[in-house]
Amino acid sequence: MPFARVWYNPVMSDKDPSSGDLGDGDRIAKVLARAGVCSRRDAEKLIAEGRVTVDGQKLATPAFKVKAGAKITVDGKLIAEPEKARLWRYHKPKGLVTSHRDEKGRATVFEQMPASMPRVISIGRLDYNSEGLLLLTNDGELARKLELPANGWIRKYRARVFGRLTQADLDGLLRGVMIEGIEYRPVEANLDRQQGGNAWATIALKEGKNREVRKLMEHIGVTVNRLIRISFGPFHLGQLKEGELDEIPSKVMREQMGIKKGVGWA
């Protein structure tokens, strides 16, 4: 995990960071996320594994708050100062894992990034056999904001399924369903066309649970054999070709997210 040799720019409590003292300032998990090291959840894992130190001492809690002047390291390397938040669109092909490391040794999305790219994380995921729009950012806090279901951002997919499909089948998802003890919120889906033994449908959802579209389609008796994400909130796949990457201009990002210049991630 590469990190630039710079210091985090805000002050540290003079108490032992391993003691769990909360102090003042930002929580370490938030600091790591803002620096683009990882998500808050992954930061908690790094701390639990003893890989994060503050002023030379291993942290024991993700609740510890960091102030200016602290030396924060991950795996012995000083973390980079938070950069301006940036956002990219990537057309993920099938056959790539949306993680930085894969226990099966499969190729990952992040291995495909150009050498000039800073370390980025994905906003949401697409499974190995799914394709289409994947948003990437260098800012873990921005990723967290965009992923939260409470923000109401709709993710749209085009799904090709094997089997006979009717609009009535899809309308049954509008009420929400329970699958294997897991509750899935209402989903809007429209039948595009039936073509021989396959059908195409456009599906819009807010939560994006693990393999949600595939499980919903299995629930109504068909099997997904191709899945393409075409939009995530206001950001669209558009004409972006498979494997292509482009950065969303800061002004567009602010406008689409309703952020005023000079505030938040501007």
**124 φ/ψ angles, rounded to the nearest 5 degrees:** 75, 180
Per-residue pLDDT at 82: 67
Same domain, 146 and 239: yes
For 222, the domain range is 154-232
Closest listed residue to residue 229, CA positions, set 238, 221, 216 = 238
Per-residue pLDDT at 193: 96
Q: What is the CATH number of the domain that holds 164?
A: 3.30.70.1560
Same domain, 133 and 252: yes
Same domain, 32 and 100: no
Per-residue pLDDT at 264: 47
Same domain, 239 and 114: yes
Same domain, 93 and 203: no
Q: Which of 21, 102, 127, 192 is catalytic?
A: 127
Could you state, in chain order, the average pLDDT of each consecutive group of 10 residues for the chain (266 residues)?
35 42 70 77 88 90 83 88 85 94 91 90 92 92 79 91 96 94 94 95 89 96 97 94 95 79 48
Q: What is the CATH number of the domain that holds 61?
A: 3.10.290.10
Residue 178 lies in a domain: yes
Listed residues 35, 57, 78: the one ending a domain? 78
| CA–CA distances in Å: residue 262 to residues 32, 84, 90 | 22, 11, 27
Per-residue pLDDT at 260: 60
Per-residue pLDDT at 62: 84
Q: Are 229 and 133 in contact (CB under 8 A)?
A: yes
Q: Annotated catalytic, 171?
A: no
Interior CA angle at 206 toward 200 and 207, to 5°? 105
User: Domain tally for the chain?
Assistant: 3
Listed residues 39, 59, 78: the one ending a domain? 78
Residue 2 lies in a domain: no
User: What does the radius of gyration of the chain's CA atoms come to, in whole angstroms?
Assistant: 21
Structure tokens at 26: 């930002």
Tally of CB atoms within 10 A around 113: 16
> 40-48 vs 140-147: helix axis angle to the nearest 10?
120
